[in-house]
Amino acid sequence: MLEELKKIREEALKKLETVESEEDLSELNVSVLGRNGALTNILRAMSKLAPDERAALGKAANEVKQSLSAVFDEAKTSLEEKSEEQKIKAETLDVTLPGVIEIPAGRLNPLTIVYRQIRDALIGLGFTTFEGPEIEYDDYNFTKLNLPLNHPARDMQDTFYVNDRVLLRTHTSPCEARALMTLKPPFRVVIPGRCFRVDEPDASHSPIFMQMEGLVVDKNLTFADLKGTIDTFVKAVFGENVKSRLRPSYFPFTEPSAEVDISCTICGGKGCSSCKGTGWMEIMGCGMTNPHEIENCGLDPKEWKAFAFGVGVDRVACLKYGISDIRLIYEGDARFLRQL
């Protein structure tokens, strides 16, 4: 039996050399040291031996069991470390490798695109950017722009008031007053910014919208200068084939005032449902700055003349890209942006 113990040990060590997984090691351990293993079967046969032989065999069997248990434990630790190392290698991300998934690139919002086009067109005409606060004083938003205290635009139904003197600006025109009071004429400024009005959101209205305003201050300016600027601006933004025209209108802060129409970008001026068959679409207002506004801001209206025009960036974006609902611009839906 001593020879058989030696043989069991040698065969176990030989099989251990071919073990590559913890499952294989567990099977080997059970086959040798398990309840029905080879070593256990020898121990069960000890009862048939003489007492002196039984003691010698028990000592030898215990030494084999302890040595094999130690070897199996060491092999198990080694296999666990190897498995963990392979797992770590498999999970490691090599940032230098090329991507396997194509990530779609983002798209600019049409507001951003149109804003940049308008800004760049006006900068090309010699304008510089001028900005003002969104939370504005009533004095700048209304009074200095020649809007009297009883003007309907001051109503709570149209304006977000913070208190009696402070409000969320309803247009970018307060920046005209700030520019007239802070900049030394002559100058040309383009004024971008968000505006706020009490409007129920629908396909054509939003309580928050984007405007861009142009203001030119110089001596001897005429309405012809305004018309030439508008025409150049329209062609730069909408294309050389788009025509512009001015229609008489009224604004408290300009005199004379006009609405700016462009030939329909959908039908090319032939007449369609978008332009209601007229061939023309309204895009903004303009006019020669009212002398009262110039005087309210500390300049001599007899020396300095000015003209201004303001355009809704979101309206231009809707016209240019054929967007039927202004809310789509502000919702930030990636599915909508991918269509542009």
pLDDT value, residue 115: 92
Domain finish residue from 63, 91, 119: 91
Q: Report residue 164's pLDDT band, with 50, 70 and 90 as the boundaries.
A: confident
Tokens for 160, please give them: 């977000």
Q: Report residue 156's pLDDT band, with 50, 70 and 90 as the boundaries.
A: low
Q: Is the pLDDT of residue 94 over 80?
A: no
pLDDT value, residue 302: 93
- CB under 8 Å to 255, separation ≥6 — which residues? 287, 288, 290, 291
**Dihedral over alpha carbons 27, 29, 31, 32 (to 10 degrees):** 160
Residue 100 lies in a domain: no
Residue 101 lies in a domain: no
Indicate whether 210 and 302 sit together in one domain: yes
Indicate whether 71 and 122 sit together in one domain: no
Indicate whether 192 and 272 sit together in one domain: yes
What's 238's DSSP letter?
A: H
Tokens for 191, please give them: 């004024």
Strands 135-137 and 128-129, by their bridges, are unpaired
Measured CA to CA, the distance from residue 117 to residue 249 in angstroms comes to 27
- State if pTM tops 0.95: no
Q: Is the pLDDT of residue 259 over 70?
A: yes
More confident residue, 266 or 172: 172
User: Mean of the pLDDT values across residues 204-216?
Assistant: 92
Indicate whether 194 and 328 sit together in one domain: yes
Indicate whether 84 and 132 sit together in one domain: no
User: Mean of the pLDDT values across residues 101-121?
Assistant: 86
pLDDT value, residue 257: 94
Indicate whether 65 and 208 sit together in one domain: no
pLDDT value, residue 21: 83
| CB 332, CB 106: distance < 8 Å | no
The CATH number for 182's domain is 3.30.930.10
More confident residue, 53 or 184: 184
User: Mean of the pLDDT values across residues 88-109?
Assistant: 75
Q: Report residue 133's pLDDT band, with 50, 70 and 90 as the boundaries.
A: very high
Residue 97 lies in a domain: no
Owning domain of residue 167: 110-337
Q: Is the pLDDT of residue 278 over 90?
A: no
More confident residue, 299 or 49: 299
Instruction: Give pLDDT tens digits for 314-339.
Output: 988 888 888 888 899 888 888 888 88
Residue 56 lies in a domain: yes
Q: Is the pLDDT of residue 209 over 70?
A: yes
pLDDT value, residue 157: 67
Residue 103 lies in a domain: no
Q: Is the pLDDT of residue 238 over 80?
A: yes
Mean pLDDT of the chain: 86
Domain finish residue from 58, 91, 124: 91
> What burial letters (b/e) apply to 63-85, b meaning 16+ CB within 10 Å?
ebbeebeeebeebeeebeeeeee
Q: Is the pLDDT of residue 205 over 70?
A: yes
Q: Is the pLDDT of residue 47 over 70?
A: no
Q: Is the pLDDT of residue 105 over 70?
A: yes
Residue 99 lies in a domain: no
Indicate whether 124 and 67 sit together in one domain: no
Q: How far is CA 209 from CA 38, 171, 195, 199, 329, in A?
A: 86, 9, 5, 10, 10
Environment class of 237 (CB within 10 Å of its CB; exposed 0-12, middle 13-18, buried 19+):
buried
Indicate whether 155 and 259 sit together in one domain: yes
Indicate whether 142 and 218 sit together in one domain: yes
How many domains does the chain fold into? 2
Indicate whether 79 and 118 sit together in one domain: no
Domain finish residue from 33, 59, 91: 91
Residue 58 lies in a domain: yes
| CB 207, CB 199: distance < 8 Å | yes
Q: What angle (nearest 5°) sits at the alpha carbon of residue 219, between those of residues 218 and 224?
A: 80
- CB under 8 Å to 265, separation ≥6 — which residues? 238, 242, 281, 319, 320
User: Mean of the pLDDT values across residues 297-321?
Assistant: 91
Residue 237 lies in a domain: yes
Q: Report residue 132's pLDDT band, with 50, 70 and 90 as the boundaries.
A: very high
Indicate whether 82 and 121 sit together in one domain: no
Q: Report residue 289's pLDDT band, with 50, 70 and 90 as the boundaries.
A: very high
Indicate whether 318 and 202 sit together in one domain: yes
